[in-house]
Amino acid sequence: MKKLAIAGCRVAADRVPQALRFVLSALSFVALACNTLPVGYDQLHDRVTGTADTTLLPDSAASYARYVPLGGSSILYLGQDTSYMSRIVLRFSILDTMDLDSITSFQLVLHQPDTLATMSFVCHPCSSEWTESGVSWQMADSFNRWPTPGGDFLPDTLAAGTMLGDSAVFDFRYVGFDSALRANIRDCGIGLFPQDTGIVAIYAGTGTISTATAPRLRVTYTNKGKQTQRVVNDVADASLIDTVATHSQPYDLLVGSGVAFRTWLSFNTDMIPPEATIARADLKFKPRLKYHRADTIELGAYRLTESFTQKGANARYESLPSAYAGYLVPADGDTVVTIDIRSLVQSWVNYPETLWTNRPASDTTLPDSLRNHGLLITAWPEWSALFRFRIPRSGPDAPRLDIQYVLPPEDRFK
């Protein structure tokens, strides 16, 4: 047995270097198979037509502001500071058949994400109907303006108090009003007006998954001699936001949310061959931050489908952005915004301006919307947390478009 064991050990010892050699050979084999060295590329060299890098600066740039509906937001803003003022409009589906005599309390309940924030406010009934999808500082819905910008309200005070902690409950006057005013509250909703300086965020009922933090009315009443509570969540809510001061010059390029600031940029891409494939198209700029209430700013780049030079702020653009970018607000303010607009540039390159300039006047097969009308940089979405920044028009921080494109290869057979 001992001899056998010794013999076995000898065999194993002899095999160690052999096994090691095998492993090394296998590893080198795998390394050769995995590398990307340019062996054989010369065989295709006469088929490679080339690539190019180019940097474009905007031919034209402009900026404009728009009051946009903010009803889709999950956060409502209430307050006023040196840049913005914001009110809140809410609407509840209150049953008018409720036996008002049995009601013992009627309360407005609000929740806020920042438990340290405080804000005194007063609540008035709205005097005009509005829609969540269309309401803004200027508009009651998509077609009708408020008679007074910022909304029309009745002088009656429904509630007053101070927002404090994660949620606050305010006594709400409803029972004591006459039926006409109660109907007005049901149909037109209520408005919350800030009384202090500063802006607080309040959870909205729409745009959120959970209804637990939605603005609500809590009704306590006696039913068959028993105290009963009913909660009425809001059915519509929105912030009405206006700017107090933009702290900017008239020709500044601004991008912002709340009151939407949009910047239009136009790049001439006609020097890129139409058959090129855009491998990279990065729109870069270094913004000067003016205002922000969140550390992450989301931006969208939209393709314009109408001429901005002809229609200005009314020029249409695509409903969905061609590219998105997140901008993490840096501590040193030295971060460059980079938006990958490869697909956008590819479409501009595919439809060069010569297609329109060289066609007969009677030819209408090519829609005008395919032309390179430039792009809009906006907040995405525009009801996101309030921010505003300026894009320098010139200098190293101004917008530039870094493009890398590839020309198609020659055929295998020429």
Q: Tokens 């060069």 map to which residue?
A: 352
Query: 317 near 304, Cβ under 8 Å?
Result: yes
411 contacts other proteins (rule: CB under 8 A): yes
- Residue 22 vs 171, nearer CB to other proteins: 22
Interaction pattern, residues 38-67, with other proteins; x per rule: CB under 8 A: xxxxxxxxx-x-xx-x--------------
Nearer to other proteins, 146 or 348 (CB): 348
DSSP reduced 3-state for 161:
strand
Which alpha helices (H) appear in 222-321, and where do they start and end?
Answer: 308-311
Q: How many degrees, rounded to 5, is the angle at CA 143 between CA 151 and CA 201? A: 40
Binding of other proteins by 13 (CB under 8 A): no
Which 389-408 positions form the footprint of other proteins (CB under 8 A)?
A: 404, 406, 408
In the bound complex, what is the minimum distance in angstroms from residue 409's beta carbon to other proteins?
A: 6
Is residue 336 a contact partner of residue 400, using CB atoms and an 8 Å limit? no
Alpha carbon distances (Å) from 58 to 179, 376, 398: 60, 12, 9
If one asks whether residue 278 binds other proteins (CB under 8 A), the answer comes out as yes
Whose Cβ is closer to other proteins: residue 343's or residue 369's? 343
Which residue number, 14 or 275, has a Cβ lying nearer to other proteins?
275
Cβ neighbours of residue 3 closer than 8 Å, sequence gap 6 or more: none
Q: Residue 261 or residue 348: which is nearer to other proteins going by CB?
A: 348
Site map (CB under 8 A) of other proteins, residues 314-343, x = contact: -----------------------------x
Spatial separation of the C-alpha atoms in residues 201 and 293, rounded to whole Å: 10
DSSP-assigned letters across all residues of 352-391: -THHHHSS-TT---S-GGGS---EEEEESSTTSSPEEEEE
Tell the smallest beta-carbon distance from residue 376 to other proteins (Å): 22
Q: Which of 8, 165, 274, 333 binds other proteins (CB under 8 A)?
A: 274
Q: Which stretch binds other proteins (CB under 8 A): 36-44, 98-106, 235-243, 378-386?
A: 36-44
Question: Do 50 and 407 touch, CB atoms closer than 8 A?
Answer: yes
For residue 349, the SS3 value is: helix
Among 37, 180, 209, 245, binds other proteins (CB under 8 A): 37
366 binds other proteins (CB under 8 A): no
* Positions 346 through 365 that interact with other proteins (CB under 8 A): 346, 350
Nearest one of 284, 290, 286, 295 to 334, comparing CA atoms? 286
CB nearer to other proteins: give 275 or 295: 275
Q: How far is C-alpha 4 from the chain's CA centre?
A: 77
Site for other proteins, rule CB under 8 A:
29, 32-33, 35-46, 48, 50-51, 53, 274-280, 343, 346, 350, 404, 406, 408-409, 411-414
